[in-house]
Structure 1
């Protein structure tokens, strides 16, 4: 019985393959459409794409076009060709605004750009583009069934940008060990805290701001040291006010002790 089933399966596979190859070479666009739809329904999206590519220009403006371009867009999405999928879904929503699939297409367009968003350490152009697309979807379809997922994707992207911004600000402090430009580090960390007031990295940013201001003060010329020590002490207080049991408290307390020692020297 297994042998017969195997032979039957093999025969069907050959027939399907033969039908696809014939459709590729056939000039009959209706035949290509039929086979392309079969490939799509079977999940053979790469094969479907090849046929859709051949017939798409001929079907523009025809009754079957809406379904064809929906399947065409989905095929790119299913094969993880997200740049092209995003473009095709955008085109679909523009050309078929009254389609029952337009909401889904708009969401998948935005999600395609989300899928292109790279690691936080890389350039975030695609992340900003994805956020714009998702926000546009949220504005246009506030009651959509896809809204919970859209909000989740937006949250993930914003957290990625937040992490990127923090890593850049912290990098200024890391680099200051070598170029002694502690002022640039303080400014970068200040800007980060202002831009992301509710950030999960606030404790870290406050500590590194203290670190940078402490190093700037300790290494200052005498005429500027007093004011800079006072600023560093204020930054210590800001950290402890934010989190009294900060994970950085031991290092911060050592800095404070040195700051007070230097202030006492100046007072004498």
Structure 2
């Protein structure tokens, strides 16, 4: 009995594959659309995508084009091909401004670009682009049900930029390039005033300034020590009573 069911299962799978290949090679665009939609609804996005890709040009300008283009765009998203998904959703939103799916497509386009954002240790050009896309969505659809998700994504991407900037400044401190470290921390503090990394940034700016002063020639030491004292006062005013860096403080 088990052998019979196994044979039946194999036969069913082979028949299904055979039918898919047959439709894939067919010239019947309606059949391709129908099977593509069925496969899409079954979660077989890669197979559906292959069929949709074949018929997109044929349906351009036709009533079915809107539905096809949405399914085609979302199949890329579901496959994890976020670069193409972002582009296709963007095209959909632009081509069908009155579509009931326009808002969703606009959000998924921006979200797709956010999925392309690399680790903070790498170049953040795509992160900046994703933030711009998400912010545009928020501005265009301020009442959208997707705004909360869009804001969360913006916060996550913003923190990635913060982490990148902080790490660069901290690295300068670690390799004893204190002037570059101070400059980088100054930029960080200005660019990200509400950052959760602000305490660390203020401390390591002070640390860099003090070490720079102590390793300076005599004619530069006094001015640099005065700068370090100014940084200390800024840090002390904001954090010294609660700071986790209190034990490391150099100006006690």
Q: TM-score, normalised by structure 1?
A: 0.87
Number of equivalenced pairs: 251
**Cα offset, 1:8, TM superposition:** 5.8
**Cα offset, 1:13, TM superposition:** 3.3
The alignment status of 1:217 with 2:208, answered yes or no, reads no
CA 6–98 in structure 1, closer or farther in 2 if over 3 Å, else same? farther
**Cα offset, 1:142, TM superposition:** 1.0
What is the DSSP-based 3-state SS (H/G/I as helix, E as strand, rest coil) of the residue aligned with 1:246? coil
The correspondence of residues 191-230 of structure 1 with structure 2, limited to 5 A, is 191-230=187-226
**Cα offset, 1:234, TM superposition:** 2.3
Structure 2: state its 5+ residue gaps: none
C-alpha distance in 1, partners of 2:4/2:70?
Answer: 38
Contact 1:45 1:75 in 2 (8 A): yes
C-alpha distance in 1, partners of 2:40/2:132?
Answer: 30
CA 193–62 in structure 1, closer or farther in 2 if over 3 Å, else same? same
- Please tell me whether Structure 1 or Structure 2 has the larger radius of gyration of its CA atoms: 1
Q: Residue deviations 1:48-90, cap 9 Å, x none?
A: 1111111111110111111111110111000100001111101
What is the DSSP-based 3-state SS (H/G/I as helix, E as strand, rest coil) of the residue aligned with 2:251? helix
Contact 2:116 2:126 in 1 (8 A): yes
Contact 1:117 1:124 in 2 (8 A): yes
C-alpha distance in 2, partners of 1:116/1:7?
Answer: 44
**RMSD of the TM alignment (CA)?**
1.8
Matched residue, 2:185: 189
Structure 1: state its 5+ residue gaps: 258-268
Q: Select 2:235's aligned residue among 234, 239, 252.
A: 239
CA 141–4 in structure 1, closer or farther in 2 if over 3 Å, else same? farther
Contact 1:19 1:35 in 2 (8 A): no
Q: Residue deviations 1:171-217, cap 9 Å, x none?
A: 22222x2xxx4222211111111111111111111111111111121
Contact 1:118 1:124 in 2 (8 A): yes
Q: TM-score, normalised by structure 2?
A: 0.93
